């Protein structure tokens, strides 16, 4: 019986490989796979390449729980061969839908279905729905999560290819088709690049998609900022005497001498309150963002992040974007949507033009942090580095950032990487939560 289960699993995986690398259907593998799927009680729709996982789950709701965590290692040493066959059938479905994208033009409905299937793949790998897990050694439902640092960027590349194959301008001009689009980084990149060529209904729909994406990402980043470390309590400021600040444990402890055994009652002479005011001094945050083609993800994330920090008390945020020219976006820093509409993605890298706008903004170095986000493949390499080193020596905090993407991947010029390390300001490269932590620590220390 064990051999039979192994053979069934092999049939399903051979079909998967055949479908991935050959567009021609293999009749023998199809019929054998159909027999396996029907025998183990799964719907034949699992083998239908045109059926999305969403539609299958809608028709067979019980399967949703099986797709979640589907590809995580099973606990224990004992392997259930029959269960492995079922897992192979469902895993093949998700993998085929995500990685077999064919060729030719793509419709808005096809892109939307693919995005939904990609979300199911992430859930099968132990990620939250639609939110990549940057950890390589975390846990999901008690299981170790796999290293997704290579896979997730690959999924992003597939999505970018699908967006490129879609007649985006025609889709945006049709409200019914535009409504089927789900905003994602790949789609937003295309919209930002093409925004100057859009008008009327198409431009309005593009702005609506960008606004939706900005709001969704802002909600996630705002939570991360709120969770980050905050400043120490300021004991020079009297605590507010309101119920939510009442320190009940301390109040009871300090009044224990007033306990009456006869009455079994504690008499309270004084109430104690927690200090909630934090030590803060006015701080200036200057974010300089490379808006060349390779840094789109960072541009979007940092425009949103800058707006969140701009909303904090006593934080003066300035935003500069550059390629071969520099643009001071500070007047719009509170609105990342308006900020992004004013960017011109693409072009080369000349950080010295941005440095010309940055240096005059550093009035009080000790209270200033400069965050420079780029891949550092620059035109005037040594001149730019010396200017950055001068900022660091002035007493300002200089934070070079190579990547603030959702997936935590980015390329950094190794020449700059080594010199930043020697300077004592190593490049932050990875998930955006690293930058959030660095900024919050400085601004509240």
Distance CA 272, CA 281 (A): 27
**Tokens 């960017």, residue located:** 343
- Nearest partner of 405 among 319, 300, 304, 285, judged by Cα: 300
Dihedral of the CA atoms 173, 176, 177, 182 (nearest 10)? 110
Q: Is the domain defined by 283-443 classed in CATH 3.40.50.410?
A: yes
The separation between CA 347 and the C-alpha centre of its own chain, rounded to angstroms, equals: 25
Burial class (CB in 10 A: 0-12, 13-18, 19+), 2: exposed
* Centroid of chain to Cα 63: 27
The CA distances from residue 205 to 192, 208, 238, 352, 413, in Å, are 12, 5, 51, 36, 37
Q: Is the separation of the CB atoms in 276 and 245 below 8 Å?
A: yes
112-118: which pairs have CB atoms within 8 A and are 24 or more residues apart? 112/180, 112/181, 112/182, 113/52, 113/54, 114/158, 114/159, 114/162, 115/159, 115/182, 115/184, 116/52, 116/53, 116/54, 116/182, 117/52, 117/53, 117/54, 118/155, 118/158, 118/159
N residues, the chain:
445
pLDDT of residue 394: 93
- Cα–Cα distance between 266 and 347 in angstroms, integer? 73
Report pLDDT for 186.
Answer: 79
Bridging pattern class, strands 139-140 and 143-144: antiparallel
DSSP state of 399: E
**pLDDT at residue 132, as a whole number:** 40
Q: Which residue has the tokens 């064990």?
A: 2
Which residue's structure tokens are 């083998």? Answer: 47
Contacts of 329 (CB under 8 A, 6+ apart): 303, 319, 320, 321, 339, 342, 343
Burial 309-323 (b: 16+ CB within 10 A, else e): bbebeebbbbbbbbb
Tell me the pTM: 0.61
Digit-coded pLDDT (tens) for 108-148: 788 888 888 988 998 888 875 434 444 434 444 455 555 55
Whether 397 contacts 442, CB under 8 Å: yes
pLDDT at 357 (0 to 100): 95
Query: 262-280 burial string, b = 16+ CB within 10 Å, else e?
Result: eeeeeeeeeebbebeeeeb
Residue 312 and residue 278: Cα distance in Å, rounded?
13
Going from the C-alpha of 19 to that of each of 25, 46, 55, 395, the distances in angstroms are 7, 14, 21, 59
Structure tokens at 148: 């997704």
Kindly give, in sequence order, each residue whose CB lies less than 8 Å from that of residue 172, ignoring residues fewer than 6 positions away: 178, 198, 201, 202, 203, 205, 206
CA–chain centroid gap for 369, Å, is 23
pLDDT in tens, 22-59: 767 788 888 999 999 989 999 998 998 888 999 999 88
- Structural domain boundaries in the chain: 2-159, 233-277, 283-443
Residues of the chain with pLDDT under 50: 129-141, 229-230, 279, 407-408
- 284 close to 364: Cβ distance less than 8 angstroms: yes
Task: Give the burial class of 253: count Cβ atoms within 10 A of its Cβ; 0-12 exposed, 13-18 middle, 19 or more buried.
Answer: exposed
Q: What are the strands of the beta sheet with 326-328, ordered from one edge?
A: 326-328, 315-322, 283-290, 368-373, 397-405, 428-431
């Amino acid at each position: 019986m064990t051999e039979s289960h192994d053979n069934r699993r092999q049939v399903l995986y051979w079909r998967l490989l055949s479908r991935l690398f050959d567009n021609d259907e293999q009749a023998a593998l199809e019929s054998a796979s159909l027999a396996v799927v029907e025998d183990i009680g799964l719907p034949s729709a699992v083998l239908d390449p045109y059926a999305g996982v969403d539609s299958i789950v809608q028709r067979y709701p019980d399967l949703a729980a099986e797709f979640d965590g589907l590809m995580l290692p099973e606990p224990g040493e004992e392997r259930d061969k029959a269960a492995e066959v079922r897992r192979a059938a469902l895993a093949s479905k998700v993998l085929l839908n995500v990685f077999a994208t064919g060729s030719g033009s793509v419709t808005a409905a096809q892109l939307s279905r693919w995005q939904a299937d990609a979300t199911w793949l992430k859930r099968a790998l132990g990620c939250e729905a639609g939110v990549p897990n940057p950890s390589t050694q975390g846990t999901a439902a008690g299981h170790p999560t796999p290293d997704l640092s290579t896979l997730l960027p690959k999924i992003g590349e597939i999505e970018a290819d699908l967006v490129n194959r879609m007649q985006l301008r025609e889709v945006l001009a049709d409200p019914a088709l535009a409504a089927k689009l789900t905003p994602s980084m790949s789609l937003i990149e295309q919209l930002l690049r093409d925004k100057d060529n859009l008008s009327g209904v198409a431009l309005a729909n593009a702005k609506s998609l960008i606004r939706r994406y900005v709001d969704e990402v802002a909600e996630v980043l705002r939570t991360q900022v709120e969770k980050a470390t905050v400043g120490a309590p300021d004991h020079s400021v009297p605590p507010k005497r309101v119920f939510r600040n009442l320190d009940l444990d301390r109040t009871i402890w300090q009044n224990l001498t007033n306990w009456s055994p006869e009455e079994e009652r504690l008499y309270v002479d004084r109430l104690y309150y927690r200090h909630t005011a934090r030590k803060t001094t006015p701080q200036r945050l200057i974010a300089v963002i490379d808006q060349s083609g390779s840094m789109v993800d960072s541009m979007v994330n940092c425009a949103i992040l800058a707006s969140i920090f701009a909303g904090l008390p006593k934080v003066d945020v300035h935003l500069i974007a550059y390629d071969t020219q520099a643009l001071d976006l500070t007047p719009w820093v509170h609105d990342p949507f308006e900020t992004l509409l004013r960017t011109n993605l693409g072009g080369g890298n000349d950080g010295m033009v941005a440095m010309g706008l940055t240096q005059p903004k550093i009035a009080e170095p000790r209270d200033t942090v400069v965050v420079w986000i780029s891949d550092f493949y620059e035109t005037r390499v040594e001149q730019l580095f010396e200017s950055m080193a001068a900022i660091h020596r002035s007493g300002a905090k200089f934070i070079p950032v190579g990547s603030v993407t959702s997936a935590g991947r980015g390329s950094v010029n190794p020449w700059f990487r080594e010199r930043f390390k020697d300077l004592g300001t190593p490049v932050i490269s990875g998930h955006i939560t690293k930058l959030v932590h660095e900024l919050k620590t400085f601004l509240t220390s």
